[in-house]
Chains A and B, each alone.
Chain A
């Protein structure tokens, strides 16, 4: 069985991103930067009604706008519209302005349906308008039971009940979804902004009835995905069709508004939790009912999986007696998609809030309650280590006992991510040239996590070269296939694959060159002996070099201004295990990123729908708030080094516990709990009884 080297030069050390110079000088070409010869702009006409039947669409006037080269409808016949922003038609033209002009003159005849529902609670009512005709918006919940909660609750020494809720969160990558498509007689090329070139290729081939071999997807650089960008998307298919009609490449990137309407989100959750423990603090009974909305359904292009509203319950802690009911509620809104650690951040928020509420009732330190109930040995170690770094014992005070107007509080929460392992069908190849240069080609993509750098670091280590000597090509379906970048699987998929390629390459090179060890200083001499033909070596993922199930815990310290209601996160200590560390620098960045996304989830982010018009009210950055530089607390990262576990992905676990830890810190500061995310000033003031409670219509 193979093993990672123990003495390393690059693995586990800090290596600067090898593609940083391209990104820092504006030379990196993102999907939205592609300018294929003779390219046209593409734009989509979207429904301004949340529910309607489109009877006919007349594109004649649009086609007459100077510069317009193609105009198409999404459906040939009548179309049922189920959410505000659903795609109706698309145009392609020589300028953005021409397209805008053309969209304005498209004539749409529609029967507008005035009955629709965009609110989860309304949608659950029996007489609510049905999103899907003949189907209840909220089907009967599925129930899971262990032990007997009915007999267990009376045996508990302390029981709490809470109603914890989380909003719909929008991915909002900085680069919107979209593509440049070029469909000619030879086939279709799509320069897509995607985190799964293979899944986009398969999706396009399926939708357009093309052979897979006739579709090529290229994603050299893309501006973030977070789970929203696995599928071909309606926009990807429309761009291809426009290209075919216009006989020219079409670049169709969504607007920031479009991004909030139609290309995915994290489902909401409404978690009614009843939980009890025995006098010594052991969890004994757990009963929960959770519902949430994935929009009109998680089925719509939920590539990457996990787009549904179900969450793992009870989260992290085993309870002998449980009853859990969950249901997905359909509403007239764009469908959910996988979003960084699907299901886990809301589950962590609900369960960890309940844990702290229970600790208060038991009169226990909430950290002790966790140590008592969490069976995971690694997290036990992480809690103890983190508590020490954070100064938990010194800082902890009883909830609400912080003096003054601006109160401080601390909280903690845990994370588990069951995936994060390697994808076994990952393949790749390396071409070793007689001049000693080497190129790796893998059909994966870099979504900002540092994929190219990971490949270079592993290859440099294995071959005794420097990372900058390794040329890395990714983001092309013409290369050997790799996985989509999701589920924290990229790093544990590609690292063993590169290991395998390198091992095979050395074996072949050494045999051909007649050199016992071709690594390091012998490399160039060995390569020279190849003569005139380069050596191409194919490799694949191999077992034993990666694993899964990364976890972590986070500690948060906050300040709450009890006069304004403003919450300021002061410090986060993030303790995570991720097996063998490949590149410390990019790993830290992943954890920072997870924490900051969790901060947004905790304090700022929420998609707001208007019940009366069915419109998303904040499809932009001025009213959908993301954390800015001034909002970000001091982040201290502690990595548990466990090289014996092999490589594990970290992207998802890093964002799971942040919101729960912050919410607990807020409750610790002010002595009352804000049960719903995001924790806005209005909710703080309402919790303190300073303004009337927040009411949803």
Chain B
């Protein structure tokens, strides 16, 4: 599987990828040759961008962010370090902790695994964009009431996951919440409170089974 592109593993462009894919696909499945060829042609027509900084426009929290970014800059890096939107947190930078979760449209995604250039054109919501007119959302308020946060570093990620869940399913049960938050990690141990807060935001009040007993 050789191609004539310069040997540069760091700059494996979409074009070289499709070219190599095309070779395999063409020999393997002749039926797909035409569609692959068409795709290849389209890809070849695209201008390869990078490696230097390129203009990128992101639609974030209802506004537009115009940034100059190397194509390899992730959405998380762009938001935090080029736009000072530090609400989304970096906990692992490898799609395992969920602290960087933002909404792309209504879908929660790990912003550490999305290149900023790929996120153009889609409405991005970060934790800073949840609050309207300085009023906490139902989800934020429920987190506050239930103390569903401790150090607070994972909190923006959980907030985005729960917010996305409630947009899709306004009446989730406990299993739905657990599923929606399966991609978020907390080390302080706020889990039971997050579950209660998510249900509270959905209108289901639960009480913590805590009792204070006098020592006599």
Contact = CB atoms under 8 A, between A and B. Distances in A.
Interface in B125-172: 126-128, 130-131, 136, 140, 143-145, 147, 149-156, 159
Interface string A481-516: 000000000000000000000000000000000000
Interface string A174-185: 111000000000
Given A24-B155, A223-B152, A577-B215, A16 B181 contact: no
A222 B147 contact: no
B195 A26 contact: no
Contacts of A95: 70, 73
Nearest to B210: A637
Contact count band on B: 35 or more
B178 interface: yes
A256 B94 CA distance: 9
B159 A24 contact: yes
Contacts, number: 208
Given A595-B189, A632-B191, A638 B144 contact: no
Interface in A93-108: 95-97
A592 B96 contact: no
B185 A174 contact: yes
Nearest to A20: B144
B70 A639 contact: no
B145 A581 contact: no
Nearest to B159: A24
B97 interface: yes
Interface string A25-58: 1111110110100000000000000000000000
Interface string B168-208: 00000000011101101111111111110000000000001
B93 interface: yes
A598 to B, nearest CB: 9
A447 interface: yes
A547 interface: no
Interface stretch (B17-25, B26-34, B76-84): B76-84
Contact of B147 (A172, A586, A630): A586
B86 interface: yes
Interface in A4-19: 12, 16-17, 19
Contacts of B49: none
B209 to A, nearest CB: 4
A174 B186 contact: yes
B188 A629 contact: no
A148 interface: no
B85 interface: yes
Contacts of B214: 640-641
B81 A96 contact: yes
A304 B86 CA distance: 30
A32 B100 CA distance: 13
Given A594-B189, A629-B194, A25 B153 contact: no
B86 A33 contact: yes
Contact count band on A: 35 or more
A172 B143 contact: no
A581 B212 contact: yes
Nearest to A255: B93
A621 B185 contact: yes
A270 interface: no
B109 interface: no
Given A25-B136, A32-B90, A642-B215, A592 B189 contact: yes
Given A448-B188, A627-B191, A24 B143 contact: yes
A25 B127 contact: yes
B67 to A, nearest CB: 12
A344 interface: no
Contacts of B151: 173-175, 221-224, 447-448
A596 B208 contact: no
A527 interface: no
A566 interface: no
A621 B92 contact: yes
Given A26-B86, A449-B150, A21 B189 contact: no
A224 B187 contact: yes
A383 interface: no
Nearest to B157: A174
B127 A173 contact: no
A628 B97 CA distance: 10
B189 A25 contact: no
Given A628-B185, A629-B182, A21 B153 contact: no
B108 interface: no
Nearest to B178: A630
Interface string A625-667: 0111110101111111110000000000000000000000000
Contacts of A173: 151, 153, 187
A152 interface: no
B46 interface: no
Contacts of A175: 89, 91, 151, 153
A637 to B, nearest CB: 4
Nearest to A32: B90
Given A175-B151, A222-B151, A636 B191 contact: no
A35 B92 contact: no
B211 interface: yes
B89 A640 contact: no
Contact of B154 (A97, A174, A447): A174
B96 A641 contact: no
B72 interface: yes
Contacts of A255: 93
B124 interface: no
Contacts of B177: 629
Contacts of B90: 32, 253
A589 B191 contact: no
A622 interface: yes
A226 interface: yes
A244 interface: no
Interface string A377-396: 01001000100010000000
A23 interface: yes
A534 interface: no
Given A24-B159, A175-B153, A642-B215, A592 B91 contact: no
B210 A636 contact: yes
Nearest to A627: B191
15 contacts: A20-B143, A25-B130, A30-B153, A221-B151, A256-B93, A256-B96, A381-B215, A385-B213, A584-B210, A584-B212, A597-B187, A628-B191, A632-B191, A632-B195, A637-B210
Interface of B: 70, 72-73, 77, 80-81, 84-94, 96-97, 99, 126-128, 130-131, 136, 140, 143-145, 147, 149-156, 159, 177-179, 181-182, 184-195, 208-215
Interface of A: 12, 16-17, 19-21, 23-30, 32-33, 35, 95-97, 172-176, 221-224, 226, 253, 255-256, 378, 381, 385, 389, 447-450, 577, 581, 584-586, 588-589, 592-597, 620-622, 626-630, 632, 634-642
Q: Nearest 3 pairs between A and B by C-beta?
A: A26-B87, A448-B151, A223-B153
Given A96-B81, A223-B89, A255-B93, 17 more contacts: A16-B147, A21-B144, A24-B127, A24-B144, A24-B152, A175-B153, A448-B151, A592-B192, A594-B189, A620-B94, A621-B96, A629-B177, A629-B184, A630-B179, A635-B209, A636-B210, A640-B213
